[in-house]
């Protein structure tokens, strides 16, 4: 049984195949509209979500399948004390594939041990978010034609931002990536990401606190929200929340080919005035989330081979 809990659960070749399939889906969506007829996706969301849950649901519906689930822990038996393990056993009787978001790091991995259907981690605490990474990779691939050779600046809450952790884990499998980590010192990357992922890659990296000093070097600027819900006290959040605000003035320092990405939701970190700049691709990125989740569902359900072969003939 295949699951996607961590981006590394798929090899680089498998990841590239999902991205390629997602590219085809984005151009020929009609072709896929009955591929999951009779299949059910369950979305088990113990934490708030707009894009991830709805894009998963939209993806399954666009594949001709159906969807059930819950959007908060309060409306599930978790509020009565049911364990993730028991919920995973139950849901395996009701659905063919599951997307789970949980506030506890490791919860989807526990579910995967007890489920008899594929489990997809839709975000676990401050840990990982592998389907956002697929979305991000597809966005870079479509925008630049290649992921190799990019200089990427990751900016904001690098400590608690799970999208950043997963993206870095995936990017080190490409060629000649340069990393610039932009954050206040309280929100730098966790040590395990630097020691176990970034350093072993041998790719150049810098940790800086000023966005203005480095924006001119970047091909991709990946902005993130300061993760209010992971802070232990309100005071620290209030002090750090507006550490970076990307506006016209800072955009003027960026290359013409810069891609500004953000997993969304944004709070203050990108001024609304930037939305009209053609280099701002975060809404396209959200759209890509549907295509990539369609490709992932097909792939985990084992439907992808037939379709991909057909689409390549
Ligand atoms: C991100 C998440 O949930 O980690 N959002 C998303 O899935 N698109 C980023 C965030 O909440 O800041």
Q: Please provide the DSSP assignment of 68-84 as one string.
A: EEESSGGGSGGGGT--H
**51 Cβ inside 6 Å of ligand 1:** yes
Of ligand 1's listed atoms, the one at least distance from the Cα of 135 is 8
Question: Ligand 1 centroid to 53 CA: how many Å?
Answer: 11
Is 276 contained in some domain? yes
Going by pLDDT thresholds of 50, 70 and 90, the confidence category of residue 76 is: confident
pLDDT at 237: 94
Closest-CA residue, ligand 1 atom 7, reads 52
Same domain? For 114 and 141 the reply is no
Residue 289 has pLDDT above 90, yes or no: yes
Q: Find the angle CA(202)-CA(173)-CA(289) to the nearest 5 degrees.
A: 135
285 within ligand 1 shell (Cβ under 6 A): no
Looking at the fold, whether 76 and 214 belong to one and the same domain comes out as no
Q: Are residues 149 and 169 in the same domain?
A: yes
Q: Give the integer Cα–Cα distance in Å for 100 and 66.
A: 16
> 123 in ligand 1 pocket by Cβ < 6 Å?
yes
Q: Any idea which residues carry the catalytic annotation?
A: 51-52, 80, 101, 129
Distance 168 CA to ligand 1 centre (A): 15
Task: Quickly state the pLDDT bin for 309 (edges 50, 70, 90).
Answer: low
State the CATH number of the domain containing residue 246.
3.40.50.1370
Task: Please give the share of the chain, as a percent, with pLDDT higher than 90.
Answer: 93
For residue 2, is it within any domain? no
pLDDT computed for residue 306 by the predictor = 67
Average confidence score pLDDT of the chain: 96
- Asked whether residue 313 carries a pLDDT value surpassing 60, the answer given is no
Ligand 1 nearest atom to the CA of residue 224, by list position: 12
Q: How many CB atoms lie within 10 A of CB 69?
A: 21
pLDDT by residue (tens digit) across 158-216? Answer: 999 999 999 999 999 999 999 999 999 999 999 999 999 999 999 999 999 999 999 99
**Amino acid 253: pLDDT:** 98
Inform me whether the pLDDT recorded for 18 exceeds 60: yes
Residues spanned by the domain of 172: 130-285
Structurally, the chain folds into a number of domains equal to 2
Give domain status of residue 249, yes or no. Answer: yes
pLDDT average, residue stretch 6-29? 97
Once rounded to an integer, what is the mean pLDDT over residues 56-69? Answer: 98
Is 96 inside a domain boundary?
Answer: yes
Distances (CA, A) of 207 to 156, 179, 204, 240, 297: 12, 9, 11, 17, 36
* Residues 256 and 167 both lie in one domain: yes
Residue in 105, 129, 158, 286 to alter for ligand 1 test, most ligand atoms within 8 A of Cβ: 129
Q: 194: which residues sit within 8 A by CB, 6+ positions away?
A: 205
Domain presence at residue 160: yes
What is the C-alpha separation between 220 and 68, in angstroms, rounded? 36
């Amino acid at each position: 049984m295949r699951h996607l809990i961590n981006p590394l659960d798929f090899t680089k070749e498998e990841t590239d195949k999902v991205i390629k399939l997602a590219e085809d889906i984005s151009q020929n969506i009609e072709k896929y509209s009955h591929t999951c007829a009779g299949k059910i996706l369950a979305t088990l969301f113990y934490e708030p979500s707009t894009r991830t849950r709805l894009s998963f649901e939209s993806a399954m519906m666009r594949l001709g399948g159906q969807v059930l689930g819950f959007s908060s822990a309060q409306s599930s038996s978790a509020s009565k004390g049911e364990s993730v393990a028991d919920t995973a056993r139950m849901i395996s009787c009701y659905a063919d594939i599951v997307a789970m978001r949980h506030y506890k790091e490791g919860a989807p991995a526990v579910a995967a041990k007890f489920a008899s259907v594929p489990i997809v981690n839709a975000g676990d605490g401050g840990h990982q978010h592998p389907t956002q990474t697929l979305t991000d990779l597809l966005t870079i691939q479509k925008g630049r034609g290649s992921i190799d050779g990019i200089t990427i600046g990751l900016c904001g809450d690098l400590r608690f931002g799970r999208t950043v952790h997963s993206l870095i884990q995936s990017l080190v499998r490409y060629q000649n990536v340069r990393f610039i980590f932009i954050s206040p010192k309280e929100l730098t990357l966790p040590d395990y990401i630097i020691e176990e992922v970034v350093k072993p890659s041998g790719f150049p990296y810098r940790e800086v606190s000023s966005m203005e000093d480095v924006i001119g070097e970047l091909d991709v600027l990946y902005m993130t929200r300061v993760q209010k819900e992971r802070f232990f006290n309100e005071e620290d959040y209030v002090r750090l929340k507006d550490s970076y605000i990307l506006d016209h003035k800072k955009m003027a320092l960026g290359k013409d080919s810069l891609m500004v990405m953000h997993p969304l939701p944004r709070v203050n970190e990108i001024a609304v005035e930037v939305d009209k700049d053609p280099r701002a691709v975060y809404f396209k990125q959200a759209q890509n989330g549907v295509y990539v989740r369609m490709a992932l569902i097909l792939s985990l359900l084992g439907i992808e081979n037939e379709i991909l072969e057909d689409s390549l003939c």
